[in-house]
Copies of this chain bind each other. A is one copy, B any other.
Amino acid sequence: MELDDTDLRILKMIQGDAKFPLEKMADILRIPKSTIAYRIKKMEKSGIIRGYFTSIDPSSIKLDYVIISLVKAKYGKDYHDILGKKLSELPGVWGVYFVLGDNDFIVMGRYKTREDFMKNYLERLMDMPEIERTNTQVVAKTIKETPYVVIENILNPDNK
């Protein structure tokens, strides 16, 4: 499905506020709210809109031990497929990226304590025979984390 400028403007308004009222959008874009509703439904059906989520402050539920791991798999396609799956099923892991370069996987996770991290992450990682080596880094500070913000500049010439 092709997105026109109106679709992008709608997406920009709802990406940071899932409950942005149709009426306000209608006022801003100067088109009827039933049209906005119609377009949003279409984007939901086509998979452009993947869902509506609530962002919860991780530290409010004591998830203060944030880690990022660089993982190198042993050579062979099977190893990669199996390892990718295994990593993404670890408790606390919210991101797994298969990358080209020195490493194979970059893994993002959140844990309550060092003990929680050791038990539920690191020890399980040690048990994976598909791994060649790992390098895990502790996040001292999250400076920015806005994974849902995708549309930054609507008037980007590349969109034309």
Which residues of A approach B to under 8 Å, CB–CB?
Answer: 1, 3, 8, 11, 14-19, 46-58, 60-61, 63, 66, 68, 84-85, 87-88, 91-103, 105-106, 108, 110, 112, 116, 135-153, 158
Contacts of A158 in B (CB 8 A): 112, 116
With A15-B54, A48-B61, A53-B55 given, can you name 12 additional A-B contacts, CB distance below 8 Å? A8-B61, A11-B56, A16-B54, A47-B57, A50-B57, A52-B52, A53-B54, A68-B97, A94-B150, A99-B139, A100-B139, A101-B135
Contacts of A95 in B (CB 8 A): 142, 144-147
Contacts of A148 in B (CB 8 A): 53-56, 147-148
* Neighbour of A98 across the interface among B60, B87, B143, CB < 8 A: B143
- Min Cβ gap A100→B in Å is 5
Residue of B nearest to A148 (CB): B53
- Verify B92–A152 contact, CB threshold 8 A: yes
